[in-house]
Amino acid sequence: IREIVAYAAERQIMVVPEFDMPGHATAVCRAYPEVSGGGEGRWKHFTFHPCKEETYRFISDVLDEIVALFPAPYIHIGGDEASRRHWKACPKCQKRMKEEGLKDESELQSYMIVRIEKYLNDKGREIIGWDEILDGGLAPNATVMSWRGTEGGIAAARMGHYAIMTPESHCYLD
């Protein structure tokens, strides 16, 4: 990784790592079930659990390694396509939502993103997240990467946040 980052830097390219959360975490959650957010069948282990301290310790350890390897001021934290429906039946999630005054599972995801953002801001880094991080409330310093169209980027900009426009209709080469 250090060689790639150095090679890119010589060419004035910033390498921005992405560590997805809470969704797109199936491989990690299968290897470390103690951080899994539940689910069943195809969606089992798909998300990190937003209410277990083990999850935050694990994510913090990984982020510490990422910070050490990537000098970019940004770390992309994903935030997209997280299935939150199984959090409705999770007693830990419902308890945390009540304690924090969160009205729904979207706000619970935002709680998680804000917590991770604070951790990274304390290390001198800013987060970038896909436009789903707007759901449930946007983290105070987040940059929004708008992929589901342009609306998310426009909404972020109107709130005074940076936005990166990558609408799938024009920027995805599927």
Nearest Cα to Cα of residue 69 among 144, 9, 145: 9
How many whole angstroms separate alpha carbon 39 and alpha carbon 42? 8
Nearest Cα to Cα of residue 128 among 82, 162, 167: 162
Answer yes or no: is pLDDT of 38 > 80.
no
Q: Model pTM greater than 0.75?
A: yes
- Residue 73 φ/ψ, nearest 5 degrees: -75, -5
CA dist 150 to 55, 129, 139, 144, Å? 32, 14, 19, 11
Q: Which residue has the higher pLDDT, 9 or 42?
A: 9
User: What are 18's strand-pairing partners?
Assistant: 76
Mean pLDDT, all residues of the chain: 93
Task: List the structure tokens of 140.
Answer: 């105070």
Q: What is the pLDDT of residues 108-159, one digit of tens each?
A: 999 999 999 999 999 999 999 999 999 999 999 999 999 999 999 999 999 9
